[in-house]
Chain A
Amino acid sequence: ILNVEQSPQSLHVQEGDSTNFTCSFPSSNFYALHWYRWETAKSPEALFVMTLNGDEKKKGRISATLNTKEGYSYLYIKGSQPEDSATYLCAFRTSGSARQLTFGSGTQLTVLP
C-alpha cells in the first residue's frame, strides 16, 4: 500500500503572506508527482507534473520542488490572494504498469482578506 502524506491538513494565512505545504511519498519506484488545486464544486485543476529529481516548476506565484531520493515535494505560494483558497492535493504515480494516482488527503488553504 502506497502512503502519500500531506501537511499541514489545513492552513489559514493573511492576504499577502507567502506559504508552503509538504507532500511526502515513497522514495522507491518513483514515476511522477502531480500537484492539483481543487476549489469546491469545481474540477481539480492540474498545477504541475514533476518527474525528475531536483525539478522545480513555476506557474505565476505558485512553484514546486521535488526530491525523489528522500521522497518529498514542496508547494510554495508567494503573496497569497483570497482566490488561492482551495484544497491542494499531491498525487504519486509509481513506475511500472500501474497508471493510477495515489493521492494525499490534501492541504486546505484559506487566505483571509
Chain B
Amino acid sequence: GAGVSQTPSNKVTEKGKYVELRCDPISGHTALYWYRQSLGQGPEFLIYFQGTGAADDSGLPNDRFFAVRPEGSVSTLKIQRTERGDSAVYLCASSSGTGVGEQFFGPGTRLTVL
C-alpha cells in the first residue's frame, strides 16, 4: 500500500520567506509526527498530532513554526520568516496509534534557506 508521502522533496527559499511543507500519512493512521534532521545529527522531534489536535508541540523551536492537521489526515508544517538555521531535512511519520506505536516515515523535505 501507499506509504507516507511528503511534498515538495526539495525546497530552496530566501531568508525571511514563508514556506509550507506537506505530509500525507498512511491512510487510517491517527497519529502523525514531524521531525527535523540537521546535518550530522539524528532527527529531532517537533510536534505530534493525534487526530486533528496537536497532542504535543514541545519540540517546536519557536513561534515561527506552526503545524496543522485540520481533517485528521494531511498535515502542513508552516515556517514564517525563515532563517538560515532552519535549513534541514523535515521528516514526517505516521502511526496507527496502537500497540508499540511503530512510526512509518516519509522521504522528507530538504529545506535550504539561502
Contact = CB atoms under 8 A, between A and B. Distances in A.
A46 interface: yes
22 contacts: A4-B42, A34-B102, A43-B3, A43-B106, A43-B108, A44-B43, A46-B105, A49-B102, A51-B100, A89-B42, A89-B43, A91-B42, A99-B31, A99-B48, A99-B50, A99-B101, A100-B45, A100-B56, A101-B33, A101-B43, A104-B42, A105-B40
Interface residues of A, number: 25
| Chain B interface bracket (under 10, 10 to 19, 20 to 34, 35 or more) | 20 to 34
B71 to A, nearest CB: 20
A49 B59 CA distance: 23
B48 A100 contact: yes
Interface in A37-74: 41-44, 46, 49, 51
Interface in A8-44: 31-32, 34, 36, 41-44
A47 B31 CA distance: 20
Contacts, number: 62
A32 B91 CA distance: 20
Contacts of B55: 99
Ranked 6 nearest A-B pairs via Cβ: A103-B42, A100-B45, A44-B105, A105-B42, A43-B107, A43-B105
